[in-house]
Structure 1
Amino acid sequence: MVSQRGLEVLRAIVQDYVSSREPVGSKAIVDRHQFGVSAATIRNDMALLEEEELIVAPHTSSGRVPTDKGYRLFVDHLAEVKHISTAQKQAIDHFLDESVDFDELLGRTVRLLSQLTNQVAIVQYPTLGATRVRHIELVSLGNRRALCIVITDNGRVEQRLLDLDTDVSEADLSELRSSINAQVAGKLLTELAESVVLLSTSVSPHLSSATNHIASALSDSIQANRQQKLVMAGTANLVRTEEDFHGSIYPVLDAIEEQVILLKLLTEMKADAHEVAVSIGREHSNSGLEQTSLLATGYTSAGESATLGLLGPTRMDYSNNIASIRAVARYLTRVLDAQ
C-alpha cells in the first residue's frame, strides 16, 4: 500500500522525468519540491514505490523512472486537470473555422493538435450511417466526361469523374441535376445510388445511360467510404523524441503506417465525447506500439461518432495532452454542428 506522500513522490518523479528525460533521484526531489523531509526519507518512499513496480532504476546507482504501471496510476489519480489558455482557444477556433470543406477540416484538426502537443495526431473519418445529401452538382468537362460532386449535411464533399457513352449538353446536365436533387436531397448517403437508379425511368430516354453512370459512380464512392479511414499529422515528432524508444523506432513507424493496427486500438478504447481514454505501453501489447501511449476521445458529425487520437512515447505530458485533445475535439464537433 502506497502512502499519500509516496503518491506525491511518484507525481514528482513523473513530472520531473517528463520534463528532463533524466532519471530522478531523491536529492533532486528534495531540491525541487517542498516535501519538508530528508533525502533519506524520500529514498525510503522511492524504495516502496519500486516494490510496487511503479518506478524502476534504468541503471545501477541511478535515479528512478516511471513504469507503465506508474504512468497509469499518475494518469488515473495524480495528473492535474489543466485547461488550455484563452489564446489557445482563440487559435483553435480561428484555425478550424477557416476550413472550406470536411476533408480540409479534418486535415487542419490533426495539424493543429500535433502542433499543440508535439505528438502524432490522428483523426478517424465518421461512418456514413446518418449522413444526408445536401446537394449534387454536375459539371461538364467536355469529351463525354463530367464531374459529379456530392455535398453532405456535414460539409463533406465527394467528387467522382464520369466517363459517359454519349455527348451530354449543358441543358442535359441541367435536367439531370434538377431531377437528381429533387429525388435525393435530404436522403441518407447510403440510399443515394439506389435513388439515382430509379431516376433512369423518369428522365429523357437519351439520358438514361448517363443516369446509370452517375448511379454507378455514386455507388463506388459510398463503398469506398464504408472503409474506415484515418488522417494523421506529426509523425516527425516521433523522430525528434527517438531517445525515448529503446532499440529501434522503426517498429513504431511500421505500426503507424499499418493503419489497421491504430484503427483496432482506437476501436477497443471506446472513446466518447466526454472523456479521454488513455492506453499506456504494454496495455496495447503485440501491436508494435508497446513503448507508446495512445490517447483518444470522441467527436460527432451529423449524429455519427468518430475518434480523435494522440500517439507518442510513454514519457509525455499527459495533463497538457489530455487538455488539448479534449478541447480540439469539442471545437471540431462545434464546427461540424454549425455546418
Structure 2
Amino acid sequence: MNDRTSAILSSITRQYISRAAPVSSASVVADCGLDISSATIRNEMVALEDAGYIIRPHHAAGSIPSDKGYRFFVENMNYVDLPLEEQRLISHMFHQVEENIEQWLALAVSLLAQRVQNIAIMTSPKPPSCRFKHMELVSLQEHLALTVLVLGGAVVRQQLVNFEHPVTQEELRSIADKTVRNYAGLSASQILKRKTVLSANEQKVTDCIINLMKTEDQRSNEDSYIDGLHYLMNQPEFNTGNRIVSLIGLMEQRKLIEAMMENQFDECGVQVIIGKENRAQSIQNLSVVMSRYGIPDEAIGTIGIVGPTRMHYGRAISTISFMSSMMSKLICDLYGRNEQNNIEKMQNN
C-alpha cells in the first residue's frame, strides 16, 4: 500500500474511532490535508473497499474500517507510552492500598475499565500450567482404584479409576512408580507428547492424570476480576438490546473470560485480536487487547480489555502495557518478600 492510500485508510479509521459515524470523502480531504481532489479520494476509497480494508454500511453512506482495515491501522500506528503524569497517579493509587494481591487486582481492573471505557478483565497470577509431582494408586476393589495426584504447589486431586481386569495393590504400586518416573515435573500437554509405551492399565491411569491436570489448569481462569460493563453500554455499538443482552449472558456464565483466553497467546508484549481473529465465535464482533503479567514460570496472570472493534487501540495498548508492567513488579516484590519470610521462619525453627 502506498503512502497516500495508507494515509486515507488511517484517516478513515481515526475518524470512525472518534465519531462512530461513517466517514465521507470530504471528511478525509479535510482531515488528511492532501493536495488532491475529493474525486481522487473517492477513487482511492473504492480501491480500499475492493481490497477489503473498508466497507460501506449503506450505499449512500460513508465508509468504516473492516477487521482487515483495523489490523492495518494497529500494525502501522505509532505507539506512545501512557503519559508520565497518569503513570504516577496510577502508581500512587496502588501504593495507597494494602499489599494484597486481591486488592491490587480489584483496583487494577477498575482503573483499567475507567481509562479505556470498555470491559476490563484480570485473572489472578498462578503457575502457567500445573505440573505433575507425585501420585499414589490405592486399591478399593478388584477392578477399582483411587488415584491420588499431587501437583506443584502441594495441590492434591483424587479420582476413581476402573480397570477391565482385576488389579492387585502391588501392580498398582508398580504402575504408580513408573508413572512418577515418566511424568515428574511435566505439564498435561508435555505428558500428551511423550512417546511412552504403556500397558492398557498404565494408559488408563495416564488418561486419568491428564484429565485431572487439564481441569486444574482451567480452574485458573475462575479466580478472576471483571469490570466496565456500564462503560460498554454507553458505546453506540450496544444501543440495541440484543448485543448487550448477549454480552451480559457471557459475563454471567463466565464465558467471556473463557472466550478471551481461547486466543493464541504470545509469550511477551501486548496482543491485539480484532473481530473475527478471535477464536471464540461468541466475541467475533469484538476486539481484545491483552497481556501476561507476573513472574515467568512461577505466577502468571492475564490482563485484558474487551470492547467494540471501534476501539481506541493506542490508548488501550499503552494502558495495558503500563498496568501489566506495574503489576508484574508489585507481584515480584511481594513474592520476594514472602519467600524471604519463609526462609527466615525455616531458619528460626
The answer to whether residue 51 in structure 2 is matched with residue 88 in structure 1 is no
Q: Within 1, Cα distance between the matches of 2:290 and 2:264?
A: 7
1:320: Cα distance to partner?
0.9
Percentage of matched positions with identical amino acids:
25
Taking the TM superposition and a 5 Å limit, the aligned residue runs for 1:1-339 are 2-76=1-75, 78-100=76-98, 101-128=100-127, 190-191=153-154, 226-228=219-221, 229-243=223-237, 248-272=243-267, 274-284=268-278, 286-301=280-295, 303-339=298-334
1:69: Cα distance to partner?
1.2
Q: Within 1, Cα distance between the matches of 2:308 and 2:17?
A: 10
1:88-128 deviation digits (Å, cap 9, x = unpaired)? 11011112222311101111110111111111111111225
Q: May I ask how many residue pairs the two structures share in their alignment? A: 252
Specify the SS of the correspondent of 2:36.
coil
1:254-277 deviation digits (Å, cap 9, x = unpaired)? 2233324523532533143x4111
Specify the SS of the correspondent of 2:283.
coil
- Would the aligned equivalents of 1:111 and 1:121 in 2 still touch at CA under 8 Å? yes
Instruction: Say what the alpha-carbon RMSD is for the aligned residues.
Output: 2.7
- Would the aligned equivalents of 1:301 and 1:333 in 2 still touch at CA under 8 Å? yes
Q: Within 1, Cα distance between the matches of 2:272 and 2:234?
A: 22
- Would the aligned equivalents of 2:262 and 2:279 in 1 still touch at CA under 8 Å? no
1:298-337 deviation digits (Å, cap 9, x = unpaired)? 1014832221100001101101110111011111111112
- Would the aligned equivalents of 1:123 and 1:231 in 2 still touch at CA under 8 Å? yes
Structure 1 unaligned segments of length 5 or more: list them.
132-187, 195-222
Q: TM-score, normalised by structure 1?
A: 0.68
Q: Within 2, Cα distance between the matches of 1:51 and 1:224?
A: 44
1:225: Cα distance to partner?
10
1:284: Cα distance to partner?
2.0
Q: Within 2, Cα distance between the matches of 1:259 and 1:41?
A: 49
Q: Which residue of 1 aligns with 2:139?
A: none
Given the superposition, is the C-alpha separation of residues 271 and 91 from structure 1 closer, same or farther in structure 2, using an over 3 Å criterion? farther
- Would the aligned equivalents of 2:259 and 2:279 in 1 still touch at CA under 8 Å? no
Counterpart AA for 2:48: L
Structure 2 unaligned segments of length 5 or more: list them.
131-150, 158-215, 335-349
- Would the aligned equivalents of 1:17 and 1:65 in 2 still touch at CA under 8 Å? yes
Specify the SS of the correspondent of 1:37.
coil
Counterpart AA for 2:81: H
1:253: Cα distance to partner?
2.3
Given the superposition, is the C-alpha separation of residues 128 and 297 from structure 1 closer, same or farther in structure 2, using an over 3 Å criterion? closer
Specify the SS of the correspondent of 1:243.
helix
- Would the aligned equivalents of 2:118 and 2:229 in 1 still touch at CA under 8 Å? yes
- Would the aligned equivalents of 1:120 and 1:238 in 2 still touch at CA under 8 Å? yes
